[in-house]
Amino acid sequence: MLNIVVLVSGGGTNLQALLDAEEAGEIRGGRIIHVISSSSEAYALERARRHGVCTTIVERSAFNSSDEFDTELLKELESCEADLIVLAGFLCILGERIVRKYSNRIINVHPSLIPAFCGKGFYGLKVHEAALSYGVKLTGATVHFVNEIPDGGAIILQKAVPIHQGDTPETLQLRVMRQAEWELLPRAVSLFCEGKITVQGKNTIISD
């Protein structure tokens, strides 16, 4: 069984989807052993505790630089013996040392169809505000590997979600989470833990 460590910063709805999927037996070959939060106020910590998952707080605001933060975070990840790192609403950009050490072992879910509305500065409601402002008719979610470029790693899974007349960023965010993020992220985690994802450059091959 692979050791899965989930990094969070906020409410933890994607973490909840992972925890529920694990309890339903939908994540095969791995187990969530630890949740690390960049904020002591993140409700995701309570979600983890309710499911008996150990938690650690590595508060970004407690460090003078991103390098110091990365050093402490890397220490925690190594202590957990993480095989897979899942970013579930983690609002800090990982430094090069972490990305390099865990190459193709860090996955993230982004609330758009990459390469649309992604990259530095695009997170949370900002993504959905951008989609509505641009006037696209379809949006969605993408699960991808993390590299040194924000939202630039190899794509694992994507799913389209329709935009409805009268949508607000909030209603669109909820639809994308319910119809795409909460489905794709547990599935991608299971595929990884089952050894069914092969990375070839910018492409991924998923085996049955």
For residue 87, pLDDT over 90 is answered with: yes
Q: Across the chain, what does the average pLDDT equal?
A: 97
Burial level of 110, CB count in 10 A (0-12/13-18/19+)?
buried
DSSP 3-state helix, strand, coil percentages of the chain (rounded to 5)?
A: 35, 25, 40
Q: What is the pLDDT of residues 76-85, one digit of tens each?
A: 999 999 999 9
| 110 labelled catalytic | yes
Q: What is the pLDDT of residues 139-176, one digit of tens each?
A: 999 999 999 999 999 999 999 999 999 999 999 999 99
Q: What is the pLDDT of residues 112-131, one digit of tens each?
A: 999 999 999 999 999 999 99
Please identify which of the residues 110, 128, 144, 164 carries the catalytic annotation: 110
What's this model's pTM, rounded to 2 decimal places?
A: 0.96
The stretch 40-50 carries a mean pLDDT of: 97
For residue 187, pLDDT over 90 is answered with: yes
> Which residues are CB-neighbours of 152 under 8 A, at least 6 positions away?
119
- In the structure, what pLDDT confidence band is assigned to residue 15 with cuts at 50, 70 and 90? very high
Structure confidence at residue 201 (pLDDT) = 86
- In the structure, what pLDDT confidence band is assigned to residue 208 with cuts at 50, 70 and 90? confident
Structure confidence at residue 163 (pLDDT) = 98
Q: Which domains does the chain have, with CATH numbers?
A: 2-206 (3.40.50.170)
- In the structure, what pLDDT confidence band is assigned to residue 71 with cuts at 50, 70 and 90? very high
